[in-house]
Structure 1
Amino acid sequence: MASRIYEPLRAAIRKGEGEKVTAQEILDALGPRAFGLSIIVIMAPVCLPMPPGVPTVAGVILSIFALQLILGYKSPWLPGWVKRLKINRKKLLNAIDTLERRLIWVERVAHPRWKFMTSGVGVRLIGVVFLILGFILILPIPFLGNLPPAIAASILALALAQRDGLLAFGGFAAAAGAIAFTWKLALATVGAINGYFG
């Protein structure tokens, strides 16, 4: 059975010609679920070992989308420099495949329910959590430190795309775990630095 989430993403990435695809081309092809699906696309590369700058850029874009959700935007808007960002189609498709394998169980249980959590005030609350996760991704954290916030953001994005309020609560729990993990990692790093120079 074709994936309700990942197949539309793959179709959006494959659309057009050339080795690379721009962020705007993907956004234009995603349709009415653009917020949720766009965030999944953004988080997919962060779930793989990538150069240090990738999570930072992903965190900035996630923060931009988060602010728009908080302000009540109905569809995502990107600044010009983000619209023009070019991404290798093959690498992005590979990243989507990896994310699907990790979150396939989430998609299987996701369906529209508790819609109050994915509309109105609920969407704004999700936006606040996205903003916190985006800030964490901007920080210079090693790969494993970026993985929990990326997974949490992906679960919340799936909840938005599927209008699944119960899944949104699961995303909040994952986000709380990601924040706690990052805090402990930061304390351990500071302790190691103090121990080295102490």
Structure 2
Amino acid sequence: MTAEPRHGRGREEASTRELLAAMSFGDPGDQLRLRDLLTGLGKRVFGMMLFVATLPAFIPVPGVGGAIGGPLVVLVGVQLLLGLRKPWLPRFLAERGPHRRSVQRFEQVLEPWFRRLERVSRPRLSGVLDHRAAGMFTGLLLVLLGVLLALPIPFTNYVFGLLLLAFALGLLERDGALLIGAWVAGVIAIAVFGVLSGALATAVTEWIGRLF
């Protein structure tokens, strides 16, 4: 059955819910290679890369999700900050990715929410998504949020995970309004969990010290 296009989305361009359903279909033991997941997505490719990078944040084991997802989110953010048009992946990452069973569990939880999102989200405010300065600002926020996700700040993995999903969905759905909302929430989260707690400044200082 072919899905009807919605809100001006082309018939050939699947929604995020449809992309997730396609990723979930098949043997639960299969490993999905990141290289394959990013193929054929055009301007939405960084959204998918961020979506996959965010998945580990929901691993219900303290410290593990942030340690895996944080650096991946930073990798996405740095590339947007540099203005890359296509993502770069080291080979050891390109050949790896989530197991299908993890995506299937994720889909079971998020599918109803994606259905609700489809009623209000649509491609709009394309200038927010395509402008170089906007992409750099998105990249900067993702770098900072990725650092915070990687830090052992108690009870924040799900908070950062949901926020990063908003960024990913804004990029995947080509929804500039949703991305602006993610910007606002991201700045607030960085201020509350990073600047006010001192965690972000401490991490950046340590990284600079290691470099020099």
Give TM-score, length-normalised by structure 2: 0.73
Q: Return closer, same or farther for 1:36/1:18 CA change in 2, 3 Å cut-off.
A: same
Structure 1 position 133 matched with structure 2 position 148 = no
Residues 52, 117 of structure 1: alpha-carbon distance in 2 compared, 3 angstrom cutoff: same
Choose which of 73, 79, 85 in structure 1 pairs with 2:84. Answer: 73
Unaligned runs of 5+ in 1: 188-198
Provide the C-alpha distance between the structure 2 equivalents of 1:181 and 1:34, rounded to a whole number of angstroms: 30
- How has the CA–CA distance of structure 1 residues 63 and 117 changed in structure 2, closer, same or farther, with 3 Å as cutoff? same
Backbone CA RMSD of aligned residues: 2.9
* Pair 1:99–1:44, CA change in 2 (3 A): farther
| Equivalent AA in structure 1 for residue 127 of structure 2 | F
**Which of 110, 122, 125 pairs up with 2:121?**
110
* TM-superposed deviation, 1:84: 2.9
Q: Does 1:35 align with 2:46?
A: yes
The alignment covers a number of residue pairs equal to 186
Q: CA deviation at 1:17?
A: 9.4
Q: Name the residue aligned to 2:164.
A: 153
Q: Which residue of 2 aligns with 1:7?
A: 18
CA displacement 1:135-164 (0-9 Å, x = unmatched) = 11111234x311122111111111112222
State the identity as a percent: 28
Q: Report the TM-score, using the length of structure 1 for normalisation.
A: 0.78
Relative distance call for 1:91 and 1:78 in structure 2 (3 A) is same
- Aligned match of 2:201: none
List alignment gaps of at least 5 residues for structure 2: 5-13, 199-212
> Equivalent residue for 2:176?
165
Deviation of 1:13 (Å): 5.2
Residues 48, 95 of structure 1: 8 Å contact kept: no
> How far apart, CA to CA, are the structure 2 residues paired with 1:176 and 1:102?
24
What are the Cα deviations for residues 17-46 of structure 1, in whole angstroms up to 9, with x where unaligned? 952222223223x52221112212222342
> Structure 1 residues 107 and 147 mapped into 2: Cα distance closer, same or farther (>3 Å)?
farther
Task: Assess if the C-alpha contact under 8 Å between 1:145 and 1:185 holds in 2.
Answer: no
